[in-house]
Chain A
Amino acid sequence: MTGRSAQHGTIRLERRYKASPKRVFAAWAEPEARAKWDVPGRWAIAEQSFDFRESGRELKRFGPQTDPRFVAETLYLDIVPQRRIVFSYSTTSNGTPISVSLTTIEMAADGRETRLLLTEQIVFLDGHDNAGNREEGLSSMLDKIGAML
Protein backbone atom coordinates (compact mmCIF):
# COMPACT_ATOMS: atom_id res chain seq x y z
CA MET A 1 0.00 0.00 0.00
CA THR A 2 1.63 3.23 -1.11
CA GLY A 3 1.59 6.22 1.19
CA ARG A 4 -0.45 8.35 -1.18
CA SER A 5 -1.83 11.57 0.13
CA ALA A 6 -3.02 14.89 -1.22
CA GLN A 7 -3.28 17.72 1.26
CA HIS A 8 -4.94 20.96 0.24
CA GLY A 9 -4.47 24.42 1.64
CA THR A 10 -4.68 28.10 0.86
CA ILE A 11 -2.29 30.80 2.00
CA ARG A 12 -2.94 34.52 1.89
CA LEU A 13 -0.32 37.20 2.26
CA GLU A 14 -0.64 40.96 2.01
CA ARG A 15 2.08 43.55 1.56
CA ARG A 16 2.30 47.27 1.03
CA TYR A 17 5.13 48.61 -1.11
CA LYS A 18 6.27 52.21 -1.52
CA ALA A 19 6.10 51.90 -5.27
CA SER A 20 3.52 52.34 -8.00
CA PRO A 21 1.65 49.30 -9.39
CA LYS A 22 3.58 49.96 -12.60
CA ARG A 23 6.92 49.36 -10.83
CA VAL A 24 5.65 46.40 -8.84
CA PHE A 25 4.24 44.76 -11.97
CA ALA A 26 7.47 45.47 -13.87
CA ALA A 27 9.44 43.69 -11.15
CA TRP A 28 7.54 40.52 -12.13
CA ALA A 29 7.24 41.11 -15.83
CA GLU A 30 10.79 42.07 -16.74
CA PRO A 31 13.30 39.20 -16.72
CA GLU A 32 16.27 41.41 -15.70
CA ALA A 33 14.29 42.75 -12.75
CA ARG A 34 12.92 39.41 -11.62
CA ALA A 35 16.33 37.78 -11.86
CA LYS A 36 17.55 40.33 -9.31
CA TRP A 37 15.01 39.74 -6.55
CA ASP A 38 13.43 36.35 -7.13
CA VAL A 39 16.39 34.29 -6.02
CA PRO A 40 16.34 31.65 -3.27
CA GLY A 41 17.92 32.83 -0.05
CA ARG A 42 20.68 30.34 0.36
CA TRP A 43 20.48 28.06 -2.60
CA ALA A 44 21.77 28.23 -6.14
CA ILE A 45 19.77 28.46 -9.34
CA ALA A 46 21.16 25.97 -11.83
CA GLU A 47 18.83 26.87 -14.66
CA GLN A 48 16.11 29.46 -15.27
CA SER A 49 13.93 30.47 -18.19
CA PHE A 50 11.64 33.49 -18.55
CA ASP A 51 8.48 33.76 -20.61
CA PHE A 52 6.12 36.20 -18.96
CA ARG A 53 2.92 36.14 -21.06
CA GLU A 54 -0.39 34.28 -20.98
CA SER A 55 0.37 30.63 -21.77
CA GLY A 56 4.07 31.36 -21.25
CA ARG A 57 6.02 28.67 -19.41
CA GLU A 58 9.04 29.08 -17.18
CA LEU A 59 11.35 26.56 -15.64
CA LYS A 60 13.61 27.00 -12.63
CA ARG A 61 16.03 24.36 -11.40
CA PHE A 62 17.56 25.01 -8.00
CA GLY A 63 18.84 23.59 -4.75
CA PRO A 64 22.13 23.15 -2.93
CA GLN A 65 25.09 23.92 -5.19
CA THR A 66 26.08 20.26 -5.41
CA ASP A 67 22.52 18.97 -5.78
CA PRO A 68 20.08 21.27 -7.60
CA ARG A 69 17.34 18.67 -7.42
CA PHE A 70 14.27 20.94 -7.29
CA VAL A 71 12.40 22.03 -10.39
CA ALA A 72 9.54 24.53 -10.46
CA GLU A 73 7.56 24.73 -13.72
CA THR A 74 5.32 27.76 -14.08
CA LEU A 75 2.48 28.36 -16.52
CA TYR A 76 1.06 31.89 -16.76
CA LEU A 77 -2.71 31.76 -17.09
CA ASP A 78 -4.07 35.26 -16.64
CA ILE A 79 -2.16 38.54 -16.83
CA VAL A 80 -3.77 41.94 -16.42
CA PRO A 81 -0.94 44.49 -16.58
CA GLN A 82 -0.44 46.34 -13.28
CA ARG A 83 -3.44 44.58 -11.75
CA ARG A 84 -3.23 40.82 -11.65
CA ILE A 85 -1.11 37.75 -12.41
CA VAL A 86 -2.49 34.21 -12.11
CA PHE A 87 -0.17 31.26 -12.65
CA SER A 88 0.10 27.60 -11.84
CA TYR A 89 3.30 25.88 -10.89
CA SER A 90 4.38 22.40 -10.05
CA THR A 91 7.41 21.48 -8.00
CA THR A 92 9.40 18.28 -8.21
CA SER A 93 12.37 16.91 -6.34
CA ASN A 94 14.56 14.61 -8.43
CA GLY A 95 11.60 14.29 -10.78
CA THR A 96 9.14 13.28 -8.04
CA PRO A 97 6.10 15.59 -7.83
CA ILE A 98 5.88 17.47 -4.54
CA SER A 99 3.13 20.00 -5.09
CA VAL A 100 0.97 21.83 -7.58
CA SER A 101 -0.17 25.37 -6.89
CA LEU A 102 -2.42 28.06 -8.27
CA THR A 103 -1.14 31.51 -7.37
CA THR A 104 -3.02 34.80 -7.69
CA ILE A 105 -1.15 38.07 -7.32
CA GLU A 106 -3.26 41.20 -7.20
CA MET A 107 -2.00 44.77 -7.14
CA ALA A 108 -3.98 47.85 -6.30
CA ALA A 109 -2.84 51.44 -6.09
CA ASP A 110 -3.16 52.99 -2.66
CA GLY A 111 -2.10 56.61 -2.86
CA ARG A 112 1.51 56.45 -4.05
CA GLU A 113 1.86 52.93 -2.77
CA THR A 114 0.77 49.50 -3.93
CA ARG A 115 -1.15 46.97 -1.94
CA LEU A 116 -0.17 43.48 -3.05
CA LEU A 117 -2.30 40.49 -2.24
CA LEU A 118 -1.01 36.97 -2.80
CA THR A 119 -3.33 33.98 -2.62
CA GLU A 120 -1.92 30.53 -3.21
CA GLN A 121 -4.04 27.40 -3.43
CA ILE A 122 -1.89 24.33 -3.06
CA VAL A 123 -2.10 20.56 -3.27
CA PHE A 124 0.83 18.93 -1.49
CA LEU A 125 1.50 15.41 -2.70
CA ASP A 126 2.52 12.33 -0.76
CA GLY A 127 4.29 14.17 2.05
CA HIS A 128 7.43 14.27 -0.06
CA ASP A 129 10.72 16.07 0.24
CA ASN A 130 9.66 19.62 0.85
CA ALA A 131 13.21 20.70 1.63
CA GLY A 132 12.80 23.25 -1.14
CA ASN A 133 10.38 25.21 0.99
CA ARG A 134 11.63 23.95 4.32
CA GLU A 135 15.06 25.43 3.69
CA GLU A 136 13.59 28.79 2.71
CA GLY A 137 11.07 28.65 5.50
CA LEU A 138 13.63 27.68 8.10
CA SER A 139 16.08 30.31 6.83
CA SER A 140 13.36 32.88 6.97
CA MET A 141 12.35 31.86 10.47
CA LEU A 142 15.93 31.88 11.70
CA ASP A 143 16.61 35.26 10.10
CA LYS A 144 13.53 36.71 11.74
CA ILE A 145 14.60 35.37 15.11
CA GLY A 146 18.05 36.85 14.56
CA ALA A 147 16.57 40.20 13.62
CA MET A 148 14.35 40.19 16.70
CA LEU A 149 17.26 39.92 19.13
Chain B
Amino acid sequence: MTQRSTKHATFTIERIFPVSPARVFAAYADAKAKARWFGGPDEWEKSNLTLDFRVGGRESVSGGPSGGPVHHYNALYQDIVPNERIVLTYEMHLDKTRISVSLGTTEFKPAGEGTKLVYTEQSVFLDGHDDAGGREQGTRGLLDNLEAALRRVA
Protein backbone atom coordinates (compact mmCIF):
# COMPACT_ATOMS: atom_id res chain seq x y z
CA MET B 1 0.00 0.00 0.00
CA THR B 2 1.34 3.42 -0.96
CA GLN B 3 2.48 5.48 1.99
CA ARG B 4 0.34 8.61 2.15
CA SER B 5 1.28 11.59 4.26
CA THR B 6 0.95 15.34 4.36
CA LYS B 7 2.94 18.16 5.85
CA HIS B 8 1.38 21.58 6.35
CA ALA B 9 3.57 24.66 6.47
CA THR B 10 3.16 28.44 6.48
CA PHE B 11 5.73 31.14 5.86
CA THR B 12 5.62 34.91 5.42
CA ILE B 13 8.13 37.08 3.56
CA GLU B 14 8.19 40.88 3.68
CA ARG B 15 10.11 42.96 1.16
CA ILE B 16 10.38 46.67 0.48
CA PHE B 17 10.49 47.83 -3.13
CA PRO B 18 11.47 51.39 -4.11
CA VAL B 19 8.47 51.86 -6.42
CA SER B 20 4.75 52.44 -5.91
CA PRO B 21 2.31 49.62 -5.18
CA ALA B 22 0.74 50.16 -8.61
CA ARG B 23 4.11 49.53 -10.29
CA VAL B 24 4.78 46.37 -8.29
CA PHE B 25 1.25 45.15 -8.87
CA ALA B 26 1.68 45.70 -12.62
CA ALA B 27 4.57 43.23 -12.60
CA TYR B 28 2.09 40.59 -11.41
CA ALA B 29 -0.85 41.55 -13.58
CA ASP B 30 0.65 41.25 -17.04
CA ALA B 31 2.01 38.04 -18.58
CA LYS B 32 5.00 39.68 -20.26
CA ALA B 33 5.97 41.61 -17.14
CA LYS B 34 5.55 38.56 -14.93
CA ALA B 35 7.59 36.29 -17.20
CA ARG B 36 10.55 38.65 -16.64
CA TRP B 37 10.88 37.59 -13.04
CA PHE B 38 8.66 34.60 -12.31
CA GLY B 39 10.12 31.24 -13.27
CA GLY B 40 12.81 28.72 -12.58
CA PRO B 41 16.58 29.21 -12.84
CA ASP B 42 17.96 30.67 -16.09
CA GLU B 43 19.63 27.41 -17.06
CA TRP B 44 16.31 25.56 -17.07
CA GLU B 45 14.32 24.84 -20.18
CA LYS B 46 11.04 26.70 -19.78
CA SER B 47 7.63 26.89 -21.33
CA ASN B 48 5.88 30.18 -21.90
CA LEU B 49 4.03 31.65 -18.96
CA THR B 50 0.30 31.84 -19.63
CA LEU B 51 -1.68 34.23 -17.49
CA ASP B 52 -5.38 35.07 -17.36
CA PHE B 53 -5.29 37.70 -14.64
CA ARG B 54 -8.80 37.82 -13.22
CA VAL B 55 -10.74 36.10 -10.44
CA GLY B 56 -11.34 32.60 -11.74
CA GLY B 57 -8.50 32.96 -14.24
CA ARG B 58 -5.59 30.54 -14.52
CA GLU B 59 -1.84 30.82 -14.71
CA SER B 60 0.70 28.19 -15.71
CA VAL B 61 4.37 27.78 -16.44
CA SER B 62 6.64 24.73 -16.62
CA GLY B 63 10.35 24.19 -16.56
CA GLY B 64 13.15 21.94 -15.57
CA PRO B 65 16.77 21.03 -16.10
CA SER B 66 17.47 19.57 -19.53
CA GLY B 67 16.79 15.82 -19.42
CA GLY B 68 15.46 16.11 -15.89
CA PRO B 69 12.02 16.13 -14.29
CA VAL B 70 9.65 18.91 -15.33
CA HIS B 71 8.19 21.23 -12.66
CA HIS B 72 4.64 22.32 -13.50
CA TYR B 73 3.09 25.34 -11.83
CA ASN B 74 -0.67 25.78 -12.14
CA ALA B 75 -2.60 28.51 -10.35
CA LEU B 76 -6.17 29.74 -9.94
CA TYR B 77 -6.83 33.36 -9.00
CA GLN B 78 -9.20 33.56 -6.03
CA ASP B 79 -9.21 37.25 -5.13
CA ILE B 80 -7.75 40.34 -6.78
CA VAL B 81 -7.88 43.86 -5.36
CA PRO B 82 -6.05 46.10 -7.86
CA ASN B 83 -2.80 47.52 -6.43
CA GLU B 84 -3.59 46.00 -3.04
CA ARG B 85 -3.94 42.23 -2.93
CA ILE B 86 -3.75 38.97 -4.85
CA VAL B 87 -4.92 35.62 -3.45
CA LEU B 88 -4.40 32.45 -5.43
CA THR B 89 -4.21 28.72 -4.98
CA TYR B 90 -1.64 26.73 -6.90
CA GLU B 91 -0.41 23.19 -7.44
CA MET B 92 3.08 21.97 -8.18
CA HIS B 93 3.60 18.79 -10.15
CA LEU B 94 6.87 17.05 -10.76
CA ASP B 95 6.27 15.35 -14.08
CA LYS B 96 2.89 13.72 -13.42
CA THR B 97 3.07 13.63 -9.64
CA ARG B 98 1.34 16.29 -7.60
CA ILE B 99 3.78 17.32 -4.88
CA SER B 100 2.05 20.25 -3.21
CA VAL B 101 -0.98 22.51 -3.08
CA SER B 102 -0.70 26.05 -1.77
CA LEU B 103 -2.65 29.14 -0.85
CA GLY B 104 -0.67 32.31 -1.57
CA THR B 105 -1.58 35.81 -0.43
CA THR B 106 0.34 38.82 -1.74
CA GLU B 107 -0.36 42.20 -0.16
CA PHE B 108 0.93 45.48 -1.60
CA LYS B 109 1.12 48.19 1.04
CA PRO B 110 2.34 51.76 0.56
CA ALA B 111 5.59 52.42 2.42
CA GLY B 112 6.60 56.02 1.98
CA GLU B 113 7.28 56.35 -1.75
CA GLY B 114 7.76 52.61 -2.08
CA THR B 115 5.91 49.40 -1.40
CA LYS B 116 5.97 46.89 1.38
CA LEU B 117 5.13 43.56 -0.16
CA VAL B 118 3.93 40.86 2.22
CA TYR B 119 3.68 37.34 0.83
CA THR B 120 2.17 34.55 2.93
CA GLU B 121 2.10 30.99 1.70
CA GLN B 122 0.16 28.21 3.35
CA SER B 123 0.99 24.87 1.81
CA VAL B 124 0.31 21.20 2.03
CA PHE B 125 3.17 19.02 0.85
CA LEU B 126 2.01 15.60 -0.28
CA ASP B 127 3.45 12.15 0.30
CA GLY B 128 6.89 13.03 1.53
CA HIS B 129 7.60 15.78 -0.99
CA ASP B 130 8.11 18.41 1.70
CA ASP B 131 11.23 20.33 1.04
CA ALA B 132 12.61 21.59 4.36
CA GLY B 133 12.26 25.28 3.56
CA GLY B 134 13.15 25.01 -0.12
CA ARG B 135 9.88 26.64 -1.12
CA GLU B 136 10.52 29.65 1.08
CA GLN B 137 14.03 29.97 -0.24
CA GLY B 138 12.81 29.69 -3.82
CA THR B 139 10.25 32.42 -3.19
CA ARG B 140 12.90 34.76 -1.81
CA GLY B 141 14.84 34.16 -5.02
CA LEU B 142 11.80 35.09 -7.10
CA LEU B 143 11.37 38.32 -5.14
CA ASP B 144 15.06 39.08 -5.79
CA ASN B 145 14.27 38.65 -9.49
CA LEU B 146 11.27 40.96 -9.12
CA GLU B 147 13.35 43.64 -7.44
CA ALA B 148 15.95 43.45 -10.22
CA ALA B 149 13.22 43.64 -12.89
CA LEU B 150 11.63 46.67 -11.20
CA ARG B 151 14.97 48.46 -10.93
CA ARG B 152 15.71 47.80 -14.62
CA VAL B 153 12.52 49.49 -15.70
CA ALA B 154 12.78 52.35 -13.18
Contact = CB atoms under 8 A, between A and B. Distances in A.
Is there a contact between chains A and B in the complex with CB atoms less than 8 Å apart? yes
Interface residues of B, number: 25
A88 B122 contact: no
Contacts of A80: 4
Nearest to A80: B4
B10 A8 contact: yes
B89 A75 contact: yes
A138 interface: no
Name B's interface SS. Answer: strand
B4 A90 contact: no
B8 A100 contact: no
Interface string A59-95: 0000000000000000101101001101010100000
Nearest to B106: A6
A115 to B, nearest CB: 13
Interface in B66-105: 76, 78-79, 81, 84-85, 87, 89, 91, 98, 101-103, 105
B20 interface: no
A8 B102 CA distance: 13
29 contacts: A6-B105, A6-B107, A8-B10, A8-B12, A8-B105, A8-B122, A10-B10, A10-B122, A77-B91, A77-B101, A78-B98, A80-B4, A83-B4, A86-B101, A88-B76, A88-B103, A90-B78, A97-B78, A97-B79, A100-B78, A102-B89, A102-B101, A102-B122, A119-B124, A121-B8, A121-B10, A125-B79, A125-B85, A125-B87
Given A77-B91, A123-B87, 16 more contacts: A4-B85, A6-B85, A8-B10, A77-B98, A84-B6, A86-B101, A88-B103, A102-B89, A102-B102, A104-B6, A121-B10, A121-B103, A122-B122, A123-B120, A125-B79, A125-B87
Interface of B: 4, 6, 8, 10, 12, 76, 78-79, 81, 84-85, 87, 89, 91, 98, 101-103, 105, 107, 120, 122-124, 126
